[in-house]
Structure 1
Amino acid sequence: MLHLSLSNIALPSIEARDFIAGTSLLISLFTAYWNIMRGAKFVSPPFRWIVFGRLPESHTLIINFPIAITNIGSRTGVIDAFYIEFTNLSTLKNERFYAWQESILIGQNFKGFGMEMPTPIALKSGESIVIYYVFFPDSLDFMYTCGLHKISLHAYINGCKKPIKFYEQKLDIDSVLEPSLLSDTISLLYSYKLIPTNILRVSNYGTEASATSIIQIAKK
């Protein structure tokens, strides 16, 4: 009969230097993954202001706001296009708006929109950009109502099969725009908030809401 005794089995001894070496190896592997192998990863904070407009002599609703994008990944990444989902929280009806023109729409002087498409955005690791888009609806006769709405920002990333969603922002719209009867004037609804909130109020601040009055509007 074979008798085994634990006292006869030699267990390997782990010294402090072996533990330090193993820990250093794990840290090195994680650092290599984090700095080299990890792909691009984009993040975007919710917007601080938004503008709704009606194109002159039409019912086409357009939306304008800035997008801040940062690549926190380890490789260069390319964003091909943006779109937003605009949802009425009462009826749950939604409309998709596509980023079509790069511009700032603050103001009511309308010079017309061209057919230029937005260029892709390429960001290296750690790079950021702030860009302004005018979003056009998928349906040109889309109508909206007062009340609570939600906007979610999405992007098509080069190399990804499906678009990614950056965030959702709730909007409390308290008035509806009527299209302007003048060919060179665009009617607008403004929303400014210097401090982020869960719900942004979109209101008609009048025709004098210019860049010089942003601070006064933000305090309302």
Structure 2
Amino acid sequence: MEVDYSSIKVIGFDADDTLWVNETYFREAEEDFASLLDSFETKNKIDQELFKMEMKNLPLYGYGIKGFMLSMVESALEISNNTVSQATIADLLNLGKKMISHPVELLEGVKEVLEALSGRYRLIVLTKGDLLDQERKIERSSLSKYFHHVEVLSDKKEENYLNLLEHLEINIQEFLMIGNSLKSDVLPLLNIGAQAVHVPFHTTWQHEEVTIEDRDFNYLKINKLSDILKHL
């Protein structure tokens, strides 16, 4: 789809699964979680219960690994009827610590894209998650030099974007968001009059999945991040 980006002056990038790998580690942790509790329930039931617990706790803990860790512990207690061993609880906490300490794995073409765009546009990072964890990832990624601003949002809804763009004095018509989530990185921007580019990641968290008719929205979908250079 051809979209006119001639008015764009500021480009926002999602971080997790747009700049670096993230969701893959959650899926691996879920597999380990199910293995640790397989004496209590089937894997399918364990997966369902963990997701239900994450959704229940999301308003309390927000997005990120720490909230996921707490949901794993609470799910383990519930699934086991409070009989899960202390050793297993320790294993669950270590799963989360392993995720937090995992090296940042940049996705293909990220540095190439940022290098090419940083001289022509004002680049910012707009991501969800735990503040400390996301700050740590930015530092480990060695990408901070490309960005004028990094913002960790509690959520990515229309109101969050509007408030931030106003605070940063960014004209909505001059803003383009690039991310892997239709729900968080594309549709809210289109709804407020900005532009957005969808670059899907091979794994999507169930909470971020949406079903839409592409013809109803005017946005660009690319296969990999470096493809954006053909349009900007």
Same fold (TM over 0.5): no
> Whose Rg is larger?
1
TM-score of the pair, normalised by structure 1: 0.23
Q: Work out which structure has the larger RCO, using CA pairs closer than 8 Å and 6 or more positions apart in sequence.
A: 2
